[in-house]
Structure 1
Amino acid sequence: MDQLFFGYFAGVIAVTAVLVVALRNPVYSALSLLVMFFHVAGLYVTLHAEFLAAVQIIVYAGAILVLYLFVVMLLNLHRDDRYHSQWRSVAFVCVPLLIEFMVLIAGSIAAAPQSVAPAEAGSGENTLAIGEVLFSTYLFPFEVASLILLVAMIGAIILAKRDIGEVKSEG
């Protein structure tokens, strides 16, 4: 049953990752990215890494995707008509993925099933250790990284507003 769930999550992740690149509309591409983030979180749950699944949903599906959509809406991107057909690039990505998937399936059928002991339920040692190290040893680099991201976001807004103002004054 675990292999069935893994196959489902891996298949949806591969398809939505290709759709992120192949779709012309950036909003649809971001929605495909959202579906991919949630399925990656589901894959973490099957691996008994519930903390990573929660972080995946909160950080990536919550914050990063909102940031992508903010940039798309700020820059007012429309469909990119420079590329007539992106199916060549989709085929370029899908064919190796399909070959790799077939090799993995053949290898998993040939190999004997191995049982993996699940992590102890309710043991918060891993989450506690991550929290202690992040907020003691790596507190300063964590804060510096957040300030760098804030400055980059403010700079992107200023540059985008300047370009929009120049286009309106020329027209």
Structure 2
Amino acid sequence: MNIELVLFGVFAVMTLLSAGLVISARSPINSAMALVSTFFFLAGIYVLLWAHTVAAVQVLVYAGAIMVLFLFVIMLLNLGDAPHRGKPSATRFLGGASALGLLAVLGVTLGRLDALPAPMGAQQQATFGTMAAIGETIFTAWLLPFEAVSLLLLVAMVGAVVVAKSRI
């Protein structure tokens, strides 16, 4: 057992605990702060996978910029004192059933994977995780999903401001 395996276990457990806090927190602010810690633990996992660029982007973009945007929207909508409803409803039941279904699909998929991935060649190792390789992948193979996510974030932000403007 080496230190990388121990650190991976620690980061994985802390990521799962933080993600559980995101779901179970009563306050939206506490939930957003738990999401920040989840992003930091994921960045630690990326560092262990030798994807330092992705880890830096994770911290700067997600834990920094996106979470500031989320906190701004939460404060703009004045959700700090939102009541936590404990009674079961149909949407909670459907959400739980969907989560269990996705967990089952993930389990089946992981069960079908090979035990060890194929080793990388020297050329792949030299370019893995670099900014040039990531940029080339994003802006060639994943350009449409990248633009769709940016448009989705813009629409969500405008929608939150429109909803909050009626209260102000």
* TM-score normalized by the length of structure 1: 0.64
**Number of matched residues?**
144
Q: Which amino acid aligns with 2:61?
A: V
Which residue of 1 is the match for residue 57 of structure 2?
55
Which residue of 2 is the match for residue 169 of structure 1?
none
8 Å contact from structure 2 (residues 46, 55) kept in 1 = yes
Matches within 5 A, 1:70-109: 70-84=72-86
Which residue of 1 is the match for residue 33 of structure 2?
31
Is 1:153 the counterpart of 2:127? The answer is no
8 Å contact from structure 2 (residues 77, 160) kept in 1 = no
Which residue of 2 is the match for residue 16 of structure 1?
18
Which residue of 2 is the match for residue 101 of structure 1?
none
Give ranges in structure 2 of 5+ residues lacking alignment. Answer: 101-115
Cα distance in 2 between the residues matched to 1:11 and 1:133: 30
Cα distance in 1 between the residues matched to 2:137 and 2:156: 26
Q: Which amino acid aligns with 2:20?
A: V
Is 1:128 the counterpart of 2:132? The answer is yes
Can you list the C-alpha shifts for 1:75-97, whole angstroms capped at 9, x where unaligned? 101344342499xx9xx8xxx9x
Work out which of the residue numbers 55, 65, 68 in structure 1 matches 2:67.
65
Which residue of 2 is the match for residue 104 of structure 1?
none
Tell me the CA shift for residue 148 of structure 1.
5.3
- Aligned-partner SS, 1:81: coil
Cα distance in 2 between the residues matched to 1:148 and 1:47: 29
Cα distance in 1 between the residues matched to 2:85 and 2:28: 14
- Aligned-partner SS, 2:159: helix
Cα distance in 1 between the residues matched to 2:154 and 2:19: 27
Give ranges in structure 1 of 5+ residues lacking alignment. Answer: 97-112, 166-171
Of the structure 1 ranges 62-71 and 74-83, higher mean CA displacement relative to structure 2 is found in 74-83
Q: CA RMSD in A?
A: 4.1
- Aligned-partner SS, 2:83: coil
* TM-score normalized by the length of structure 2: 0.65
Q: Hey, which bits of structure 1, 4+ residues long, moved more than 6 A?
A: 136-141
In 2 relative to 1, CA 18–123 (structure 1 residues): closer, same or farther, beyond 3 Å?
A: same
Cα distance in 1 between the residues matched to 2:7 and 2:145: 37
Tell me the CA shift for residue 133 of structure 1.
4.5
Larger Rg: 1
What is the percentage of aligned positions where both structures have the same residue?
Answer: 44
8 Å contact from structure 1 (residues 24, 79) kept in 2 = no
